[in-house]
Amino acid sequence: MFRLNEKIAVVTGGGSGIGKAVALLFAKQGAEVHIIDRNEEACDAAIKEIQQADGKAFKHACDVTIQQQVKNVFNEIGKVDIVVNSAGISYIGNLESTSESDFDRVFSVNVKGVYNCMQAAVSIMQKNKSGVIVNLASIANNIGLQDRFAYSMSKGAVYAMTLSVARDYIDKGIRCNCISPARVHTPFVDDFIKRNYPGREDEMFEKLSKSQPIGRMAKPEEIASLILYLCSDEASFVTGCDYPIDGGFITLNN
């Protein structure tokens, strides 16, 4: 079950964090993986890890906010069966403290980047009358999180775009879903704690972990497993859905 043999998968932000976990798992399950990432060094490391495990992977240095770059990459890849939009950035701040430039930056990566990749993918997928897209939304599109104004805006847009694409292309054989993780332990989290709480790293890590009702952060591999299911043939009846994967955050914190 959940094999991806002969599938060509594109993973944005596949050089680290959740995207890397997805790329590794997809390759293990038989997919040919194409990683899109701005960080070429991280991308090279992920591809090396996949190849050392006898997987098949390719690197594409690309800024997802630039539409022509994205189109060029997808045209270069050719056939595309699966797209996972994992590339994204965070931002801490409420409405008043969020500057116009920071708002535009979050929108450009988290919203326009997903739009660019979905648009490029759908034009290819329609030719084959099949395809799967999974977008990374967030618990932030389901509940209000303190000081996450721009980030919540962007993830709410991802959720809405997911439903729209699922509706518009259901008769083209294209499925589109999103997942809504709570806090996931990635290098981003470690860097955030180190940068904002120097000398208190262990204390803050424990505090952030315990903010999840389950008592810990998710592992990237756990998120990747849900994405694998949604991209597999076993999920062929699933489209237009958002899947919280949050350790009980949404329902048990209210």
Contact criterion met (CB below 8 Å) for 18 and 223: yes
**Exactly one of 151, 159, 197, 229 is catalytic; which is it?**
151
Q: Strands of 131-136's sheet, edge to edge? A: 56-61, 32-37, 8-12, 82-85, 131-136, 174-181, 242-245
Phi-psi region of 212 (alpha: psi -120 to 50; beta: other; left: phi over 0): beta
Q: How many residues does the chain have?
A: 254
Q: Who's near 111: CB < 8 A, 6+ residues apart?
A: 154, 157, 158, 161
151 is catalytic: yes
Active-site residues, by number, are 151
